[in-house]
Chains A and B, each alone.
Chain A
Amino acid sequence: MVSPILELKDINKSFGHVHANKNINLQISKGTIHGIIGENGAGKSTLMSIVFGLYQADSGTININGKSVKLKSPRDSIESGIGMVHQHFMLVENFSVLENIILGFEGELVFGKNLEKAKKDLINLCETYKLNIDLDSTISDLSVGFRQRVEILKSLYRGAEILILDEPTGVLTPQEVDELFKILRSLKEEGKTIVLITHKLNEIMDLTSEVSVMRQGEMVGHKKTDSTNKEDLAEMMVGRSVLLRINKSSAKQGEVVFSVKDLVVKDDLDVTRIKNVSFDIHEGEILGLAGVTGNGQTELLEALSGIRKIESGEIKLFNEIISNQNNFLDPRILKEKGLAHVPEDRQRMGLVTDFKAYENLIFGYHHQEPFSKSSILKEKEILSFSKKVMDEYDVRPNSPNLITSNFSGGNQQKIILSRELNENPKVLLVGQPTRGVDIGAIEFIHQRLIDMRNKGAAILLVSVELDEVLSLSDRIVVMFDGNIVGEKINKNVTDRELGLLMAGVA
């Protein structure tokens, strides 16, 4: 076998308690398109950031063309022939294409000879790879697809032999995706090596010759694309760890209390993320919403909880319209009407991490009695309440005065849950309730959700953990690319079936 152009050996990387890459081994052969697939949070981007010199591995070695290299910064990587196109482009919007590409590599104080030469080289590159870019246009005038090409051109100009693309199609329209694939193929024909990070199985099957699968920070397998299929890959991606099945009685389904009809939602970049979604949730049931991250779950939760405006359709709580294209009730009013929300991202949205624990325990309910009266916070009541719920939810340490960022992830999550469940909501929206939470806390949190259901709450559980969805839900819907692609009663449904739906295969 020819020695690989890029070889990673026993790469480890941790961020605090999170072990993002565990003993990763990877070999990439020259002149191939190599896919790295895995769910969000599986550690793909971290691994490639290590290769690109953005992070340093805690241990392990990187070989390029058989020689061990130390990549301490992107500059080192660029000099070793590695280029990376990030999910979010690193371009100066008000600079021209040419200016962006030579940025940092001007090579002269006053533009002159070098600039002319750069221009010539770039025109050649554009022709070789059919990039079709006008070097003098300003970045802000270019579409997303073209901006991505500029990134590719930039890497090539800097001598990249290995080009890493991190989720390159996430922001593209289908036509732009086709164009991109054409470019990638022509790059491969010219002998470049491409590493494609993605969670989309179709892209892997279309483009790559080899594929490596990551799950929860580990490399779980390498395959030749010819000798595998989407189903196998989906299974490897999602994994089949031992299920934490929880004992629960069968649901006593009541009336529909929350219903979503023909919902369409756009994200901040004006991209339609929820295309047409309808579902109902009954009293006393947990509706699980499975799906790979980034298929619209975040926008869905935000729309349902009154944070995000919707484009069309309607959302009803107890037969009252709480959101349509003209109007939506804000989270405070929804809370008062009995809708609680445990957000997906606890540190960005669920908590003010600089606040003390007791301040977060009343967050969103602080204006109500007994926490405040005539707009003055009732410290004594708040503290005794905090002590009580922190005890009840076993938040450790039980110190309401500690700054929230000092609690572990699991305990932060318990702070949010205790706050949101305390008011006995009628409808509960839960996003990724156990992400980054230790096993003990997971069981505890699951039990609390089941208890809420048994008390008659209608619960929407959004999770990328299939085990979690399977063990808690009474009904399961699967979301893919902004649509609900399947609904199953949680009886005899297998994780394999769901995995296929999640990957958009079935």
Chain B
Amino acid sequence: MTTVVDKTKVPWWAANIIVPLVNLVLALLVSGLFIFIAGENPLQAVKLIIYGSFGYVEGFAYTLYYTTNFIFTGLAFAVAFHCRLFNIGGEGQAYIGGLGVFLVAINFSFLPVPIVWLLAIAGAIIFGAAWAFIPAYLQAKRGSHVVITTIMFNFIASSLMIFLLVDVIRDTAQMGPHTVALPKELWFPTFKDFAHLFGMKIRYSPLNISFIIAIIASFFVWFLIWKTKWGYEMRAVGHNTQAAIYAGISPYKNIIIAMLVSGGLAGMLGINEILGVHHKIVAGFPAGYGFTGIAVALMGRNHPIGIFPAALLFGILYQGGSEVTFDMPNITRYMFIAVQGVIILFSGALENLFRPQIESFFVNRINKENPA
């Protein structure tokens, strides 16, 4: 029997905070079971995760570095999703976005540094958007499902980049599949550099000003989706295409726009990785952030305010997880990929598992307090 809940009476915090939290707690309990089976103490693992991600400055900086990537890819997925497009091509769009960053930065390195940075950011957005354009066009004009085409484009991006990194833009002085490094003055200032300005002596961490760019991007997405005509039209197409046509809103145009913005945001991952961390294109640098971004967006209910804590959570898991694998020999890196999987399972696929029960619980309580 399905429980029918009067949705108008569900308090917003029950639907948007309690339900995700319950799912998260369940996911962590199941993950704890994994760790227990692997022969380690789950409580000890939790302690290590918290220490590793918050316990010392560098660890926290690492957490925020991961968070930056998840914000970009989470936002990317969310924007497309408001137009009911399931863009799972963030991975490929990020990869190509990185190419944009590098090509622009290296070719315009003669310009003043801040201008090169701005151009490189534009490069990331344009390259990422361009990679999303073909699936977008095929969806809008031909009805080819964007889930299929974007995942295919991930493979194409990966192969294309390997080709470029091996045969075209490889640093010929080195053996590895990567490019030459960008001139040092173009490297983004890191958290360490800022800390030094204030007299703090800390060790290296990859956190850099991309984090601030990610926060700005969050504001931009919020503004675009809820405050502009474009966001309004995208949401209209997403919720009810037929009504959109009736109102003179073109589904074709909005599918393209939503995918371009989505691809652009995914491409911005390249800013963090290329300008902030590697300073060159390294094969495979998107490392699954594009996919995890889907879970981040779903968990954050496709709203920037939700995406930030969700991105932080995955940042904690990445950073805390590596701390655990370091200290607990029985727990491997793959264990934490499984933990992520469990979280994605509970907050994505099983999202509505307990929703009716939780919502009806609160509705009943409210009804009891104010009997009609």
Contact = CB atoms under 8 A, between A and B. Distances in A.
A277 B239 CA distance: 34
A307 B229 contact: no
Q: Which of under 10, 10 to 19, 20 to 34, or 35 or more describes the interface residues of B?
A: 20 to 34
B235 interface: yes
A350 interface: yes
B229 A305 contact: no
A447 to B, nearest CB: 25
Interface stretch (A130-138, A181-189, A373-381): A373-381
A377 B246 CA distance: 20
Contact of B228 (A332, A363, A377): A377
B229 A406 contact: no
A118 B243 CA distance: 47
Contacts of A403: 8
Contact of A352 (B228, B229, B230, B243): B243
A377 B243 contact: no
A354 B248 contact: no
Contacts of B242: 348-349
A333 B8 contact: no
Contacts of A331: 245-248
Contact of A377 (B229, B244, B248): B229
A355 B245 contact: no
A335 interface: yes
A220 B228 CA distance: 53
A151 interface: no
Given A343-B246, A363-B247, A353 B227 contact: no
Contacts of B243: 348-352, 363
A406 B8 CA distance: 7
Contact of A379 (B227, B244, B247, B248): B227
Contacts of A351: 240, 243
Interface stretch (A26-34, A364-372, A468-476): A364-372
Contacts of B244: 352
Interface residues of A, number: 31
A266 interface: no
A279 B208 CA distance: 69
A166 interface: no
Given A348-B240, A352-B239, A406-B8, A377 B247 contact: no
Given A355-B239, A375-B229, A377-B229, A349 B246 contact: yes
Contacts of B247: 331-332, 363-364
A429 to B, nearest CB: 11
B71 interface: no
Contacts of A379: 227
Interface string B56-75: 00000000000000000000
Nearest to A305: B246
A307 B232 contact: no
B132 interface: no
Given A348-B240, A352-B236, A352-B240, A364 B246 contact: yes
A215 interface: no
Interface string A371-396: 01001110100000000000000000
B228 A307 contact: no
Interface in B131-188: none
Contact of B227 (A334, A348, A366, A377): A377
A359 interface: yes
B246 A372 contact: no
Interface string A310-354: 000000000000000000001111110000010100001111111
Of A305, A332, A334, A363, most buried by chain B (CB within 10 Å of CB) is A363
A330 B248 contact: yes
Nearest to B247: A364
Contacts of A334: 248
Contacts of B227: 376-377, 379
Contacts of B233: 366
Given A352-B239, A354-B239, A355-B235, A376 B245 contact: no
A307 B235 contact: no
Contacts of A343: 246
Nearest to B245: A307
Given A307-B245, A331-B245, A363-B247, A376 B229 contact: yes
B88 to A, nearest CB: 23
Given A307-B246, A406-B8, A366 B229 contact: yes
A350 B249 CA distance: 13
Nearest to A302: B246
Given A331-B245, A349-B243, A359 B232 contact: yes
A375 B228 contact: yes
A363 B242 CA distance: 13
A335 B245 CA distance: 13
Interface in B209-240: 227-230, 232-233, 235-236, 239-240
Interface in B228-281: 228-230, 232-233, 235-236, 239-240, 242-250
Contacts of B240: 348-349, 351-354
A334 B247 CA distance: 10
A377 B240 CA distance: 20
A357 to B, nearest CB: 13
A241 B288 CA distance: 67
Of B232, B235, B243, most buried by chain A (CB within 10 Å of CB) is B243
A375 B236 contact: no
Nearest to A354: B239
A376 B246 contact: no
Nearest to A332: B248
A332 B247 CA distance: 7
Contacts of B8: 403, 406
Contacts of A354: 239-240
A3 B272 CA distance: 80
Contacts of B235: 352, 355
B179 to A, nearest CB: 38
B236 A355 contact: yes
Nearest to A367: B229
Contacts of A335: 248
A32 to B, nearest CB: 39
A330 B235 CA distance: 20
Contacts of A375: 228-230
16 contacts: A307-B246, A331-B245, A332-B247, A332-B248, A343-B246, A348-B242, A348-B243, A351-B243, A352-B243, A355-B236, A364-B246, A375-B228, A375-B229, A377-B228, A379-B227, A406-B8
Q: Which 9 A-B pairs have the closest CB atoms?
A: A332-B248, A364-B247, A331-B248, A375-B229, A352-B240, A354-B239, A352-B239, A349-B246, A372-B229
Given A349-B246, A353-B240, A355-B235, 9 more contacts: A332-B248, A333-B248, A334-B248, A343-B246, A348-B243, A350-B243, A355-B236, A366-B229, A377-B227
Interface of B: 8, 227-230, 232-233, 235-236, 239-240, 242-250
